[in-house]
Amino acid sequence: MAWISQYNTNAAGKLKNFLDDIITNYGLQNGYGWSIKDNNAGTNIGVYQCQPDANSKFILVVKDDQSDYATIEYWEDWDSVNHVGVGNSMTYGSDSSKTLRIRKATGIFNASIKPYPGRIVLSIMPIGSAYYLGYPRRFDETKNTPVFIGHNSYTSGIGYNDNPLADQRSASNLHYPEWRFFKDSVGNLNKICASFGSPPSDSSVRSRKDTLTTNGQHYIIETPVQEDASPFKMIGILDGVMCKSNCPSGLANGDTIIVGNDVWLAVIGKSNTTCLIKEE
């Protein structure tokens, strides 16, 4: 596991270079985890395999060939000779015309990468946006259920400046950030991922998730995720993340707090959309 902080710009290729670096240096443990799948997929296109165990695998494609954002795709596998995805894919979210994306801005990029459970938590600090790529800490590791939490390409959406990892808010509405399972617990493709305690598919409210206790200390609970549709199962825990909705608890973007032996970074976007990420 590793926590990496690096200054970057919003130029084409900067996110790919950052991911290449952290995956090369910190991606694998005992032969499992993250690796570069294809070094020749195209200019500023990163292709990465995430395989945290023998039962689970997916391919993350990062098309970082323009400034300001990178387009994201999930695939079952990848042909490194012909440089194309293989099998089923997830290339859009709540609307088939809107691709998945990670926004970029000049300033500090942070990442927490873990070979197990097989996830990268990325934060672009100048815009207060955080992204979850990969597996939650699953209750049943035979279920191949990676998630994407991030933006889509609807730049006029009222949630485009929100922090995606603050909470699921109407993941069936293209205006808001995307919370998606590549596959759910029974293998259905591209399904809504719901944060536990939030009304599924309901944009009218967000639950208040404060962390300040009566003695002025912070109490942190990593956020569980569940299916938004049948069979409505709890899938796992967003590893090292607490989604706090619109509740910064007195923190500012970039602040850190210590709870026990752990350091947590506050990432806060528009409208106080807040999450805490464990620096590990």
- What φ, ψ does residue 216 adopt, rounded to 5°? 80, 5
Contact 143, 187 (CB under 8 A): no
**Entry pTM:** 0.96
Nearest to 72 by CA among 31, 19, 26, 28: 19
pLDDT lower than 50: segments of the chain? 204
Contact 276, 265 (CB under 8 A): yes
58-94 residue pLDDT tens: 999 999 999 999 999 999 999 999 999 999 999 999 8
Number of structural domains in the chain: 1
Looking at residue 215, what is its pLDDT?
Answer: 93
